[in-house]
Structure 1
């Protein structure tokens, strides 16, 4: 029996997905539903925690992979050209009983063919691909992604963006993502432009990805304001945030050797780090598979300006119950480099299933 629980919006969305999948065979487009759901019991400790961050609970805010349910629609236009619509939503808020509704990951529409692949919407960046190539844990627990990669200047995706990928030539490919932002200060919401350029090489055991993301200088305004109450304004709007031009370059790579795979990454940012300071990131890691067991380990260091180095160590063991289901146990130790309140440790056990 199918039981639907949640808000009316969520019920309607799930019913719509089921109806779409049921009628896909009668349409000219091909509809595929896939995804991954990951949940873990985690315990957070250390002198860098607070009352709100020192948690012991079942959740998917941490784990071995990002949960997502993907809806992919393809239509063959003939002549080697295809049209695509893709939408990925995040079920984690419902899993951990959050009051938030269904979230979103990638969402775009595009055309592909002999010319390459052109997509419009909210598309994953080359910066995220480079992180995946050189990060054992990706964005999951173990790599301290938010405190290292994001803090250094790495980007996941931009809303209202356009991305073009070239065809692959002997393992080489390139892509560029552009997000125009909103440069109209009179609207009260000026936002920066982003340009993300990526180069990839994949051949046999070697995978290498380089990315360079640039953010324009900007001044974002808030609501209409009276000068005597707020201070300086731009076209009647209070100037609430400002940012300088930033650049973040990342090189990530991995190489398979038998049952082992080694990972390495190096990032260099010009005023891309937290607070508009220069950043340098270094990371090494490895995985090793023994039958149903895969062991993962990694060490990362990040320099942000003149502050002490941030350090992250991650360990995890996965046990494959099948090709699509795995149980795991992991640990992440993060040190901010501060003289006090500097350590956050996360221990977890969990289960994930892909479909």
Structure 2
């Protein structure tokens, strides 16, 4: 009897170990020192950024199980944190970047839970700067935080063509405010529209070029962050972009149209052109120009240059320089999370180090 129990226990332990062998711990730790001038209400700032470096810091767990026939079950739990302070980003959530489970197979991937939506995926190839300290987040803080709570997502890839979409029953349960916390949890009895969101993607990626488009509609709800304080109000983004690859780099271009239908309707256009060039395998240069126009409320232009040097496969040092040209009515900062006086131009710079694991 003891031998039978011992054998059963060893079998259980062995089975558990095998099940856990496909779970991966991964992450990015990224920070440095930044500077920018003309900070509101005045003067300059020197310090460490809390929102992002070249990329936002994160750690996560992901795993999958082979179900046979090319099918898999998977999960992702991902946390975003501020390296200088150790605090949680993404609305203070433990797994604010991702918390989902799903199934994948020949016909695509089905994902349930908090996940990246199509407004983030559509920019992955064309936006060479990405969610960096000096980036298009200065014009639209949603772009590097395009995730949906309570969501059902689908993504399928077929011979270079990608189709995808998400549907959220309540797009953002964290609050009360912030670029990734808008207090719109939805799922309100008697109000099926409160905080609903849907996104859609169609893309083609070839050996040398690619094009993509997405559509994103989010609704408001009672108590949510302004201006979407009612389920009758919507915030809509249409994104079109593309890229061309060449031997030593890539060029990307894109256009983002945003319409906010709330108490005061607003419309904006954001156009960007950028490129990456590899001087050698470990040394690359990025540059991007972004032009933002908010209808009847001014405009601004952001110039960004960045240099990256890979010390190893895991560790990179970089420097980023940005220059924001504000119109007379705008006060958009050059750095994510920064401030600037209305109508003032602003220069920002950062030197940082990034380690991946």
Return the TM-score normalized by structure 2.
0.77
Confirm or deny that 1:282 pairs with 2:271.
yes
Q: 1:212 aligns with which of 215, 219, 238?
A: 215
Pair 1:264–1:193, CA change in 2 (3 A): same
* 2:355 alignment partner in structure 1: 353
The Cα shift of 1:343 comes to 3.0
Distance 1:86 1:78 in 2: 20
In the alignment, does 2:229 pair up with 1:241?
yes
1:346 to partner: Cα distance: 1.9
Correspondence 1:303 to 2:306: no
Which of 187, 194, 197 in structure 2 is aligned with 1:194? 197
Structure-to-structure mapping, 1:262-277, within 5 angstroms: 262-271=251-260, 276-277=265-266
SS at match of 2:121: helix
Question: Structure 2: where are the runs of 5+ without partners?
Answer: 1-14, 171-185, 330-341
State whether residues 34 and 349 of structure 2, in contact with CA within 8 Å, keep that contact through their aligned partners in structure 1.
yes
Give the CA deviation at 1:163: 0.3
1 CA distance for matches of 2:199 and 2:249?
31
Corresponding position of 2:12: none
Q: Distance in 1 between matches of 2:236 and 2:207?
A: 31
Q: Decide which of 57, 60, 67 is 1:67's aligned counterpart.
A: 57
| Residue 39 of structure 1: aligned partner | 31
Aligned equivalent of 2:338: none
Contact 1:326–1:351, Cα closer than 8 Å, also in 2: yes
Checking the alignment, whether the CA contact within 8 Å between 1:129 and 1:209 is kept in structure 2 is no
| Distance in structure 2 (CA, Å) of the matches to 1:128 and 1:179 | 15
CA distance in 1, matches of 2:323, 2:236: 28
Which residue of 293, 296, 312 corresponds with 2:302? 312
1:1-355 matched pairs, under 5 angstroms = 25-27=17-19, 30-46=22-38, 48-50=39-41, 55-92=45-82, 95-98=84-87, 104-145=96-137, 147-150=138-141, 156-166=146-156, 168-181=157-170, 182=186, 184=188, 191-216=194-219, 218-221=220-223, 241-242=229-230, 244-271=233-260, 276-291=265-280, 292-339=282-329, 340-355=342-357
Q: How far off its partner does 1:143 sit?
A: 1.6
Alpha-carbon RMSD: 3.1
Q: Give the alignment's TM-score, normalised by structure 1.
A: 0.78
- 1:301-322: per-residue Cα shift (whole Å, max 9, x none)? 1111212212111111111111
C-alpha distance in 2 between matches for 1:221 and 1:287: 43
More moved, 200-209 vs 330-339: 330-339
Given the superposition, is the C-alpha separation of residues 240 and 316 from structure 1 closer, same or farther in structure 2, using an over 3 Å criterion?
A: closer
Displacement after TM superposition at 1:297 (Å): 0.6
Assess, with a 3 A threshold, how the Cα gap between structure 1 residues 29 and 311 changes in structure 2: closer, same or farther: same
What is the distance in 2 between the residues matched to 1:27 and 1:156?
A: 32
For residues 205-236 of structure 1, give each alpha carbon's deviation from its aligned partner in whole angstroms, at most 9, with x where no partner exists. 223221100123x44148xxxxxxxxxxxxxx
CA positional deviation for 1:67: 1.4
